[in-house]
Structure 1
């Protein structure tokens, strides 16, 4: 089956030594755009975000890291979800997510869960909407103190194919995708996660 991937360069390396050093070396030498890492099972989330190897990769490399669970089924990436708190570092990450979305001909849905303790003003939200009005992005602000539940609803009911996040949220996402929640929603939460370098 032709997936129009003929222009994507594929190469293999077998390297001895420190994993992180070798990944960083490969990124530089091969001009790699992002790293793809696979995980398996519910505990794969904890291994992905907090594990020695992957946790080090997430914080040390300057390219996005795509985590793909073994249980994921391939489907065309049509919608990328992106959670934000309207911080400056989120804006940089969103711009990078939009570049990826353009290449994949996908749209971006941006979610902010506004809790009762929120310090984000309506002015900031409007400024972001104005700055990105020419982009293929939809902003949703949902008032709720159940942040995890709201994000899960967002993934399930907005048909999110890939969830993009900043690496500084690793602990939060371990909690979000804990085994009991993943089990509760069966394989519907087994979506790839794109961790953006902060």
Structure 2
């Protein structure tokens, strides 16, 4: 048998227990404050990063054109398109022309050229419309809007009294894009020229 030990051996006295509890509470509070600060910092940097990205170029895919769009580029394009959709062709033309000059490398460029051409057509500037649309067609021969642009060129040619040129352009759409919506539209337009 072991000799009896004093009752307080191995057990904290009240003062030591209180100090240990206070110490643990201080460590917990310190840990909690540090964790809260880190969470706030993370939230701050996440928010800051999101706000800064609005001012950085972004990778964009527009129809078949990949590229980098600058901050403010899409809102400017959308605003110009809204003018066109509202029937304000002069404002649309000015906005698309400004967009093209400001963003010559934009993935939205072929579409901006297409809508500028349509805006000029609506203002009866057939020569200007043809020039813009042909520039778009030659620079982007595989763009999905090319058949529509060619039909628009044919419309410009027809309105300018160049019926044979209009017919030839529509026949090119049929030959280059058979079975497409553009070919069907060109075929329908050809029927009205005869």
TM-score by length of 1: 0.30
Structure showing greater Rg = 2
* Greater helix content: 2
TM-score by length of 2: 0.31
* Greater strand content: 1
